[in-house]
């Protein structure tokens, strides 16, 4: 292990960095899920409108 990881401040620095990376991953993952949910909602709405126009 490096000296930074062995020191008390270095360990806190690594843990803080890890938490930041985990938070960023959660935010990005959540954004992707929300984007696809909204995208599919509008796609389904569009198909319903087209079917309504076709069949009355």
pLDDT at 39: 98
Residue 44: pLDDT band (50, 70, 90) is very high
Nearest-angstrom CA–CA distance, 49 and 56: 10
pLDDT at 17: 84
Residue 56: pLDDT band (50, 70, 90) is confident
Residues 21-35: tens digit of each pLDDT: 999 999 999 999 999
Give residues with Cβ within 8 angstroms of 7, minimum separation 6: none
Structure-model confidence comparison of residues 11 and 18, the more confident one: 18
Nearest-angstrom CA–CA distance, 18 and 10: 12
Say if residues 10 and 18 touch (Cβ distance below 8 Å).
Answer: no
pTM above 0.85, yes or no: no
């Amino acid at each position: 292990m490096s000296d930074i990881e062995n020191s008390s401040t270095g360990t806190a620095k690594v843990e803080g960095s890890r938490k930041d990376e985990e938070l960023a991953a959660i935010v990005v993952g959540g954004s992707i899920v929300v984007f696809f949910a909204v995208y599919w909602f509008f796609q389904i709405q569009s198909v319903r409108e087209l079917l309504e126009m076709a069949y009355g």
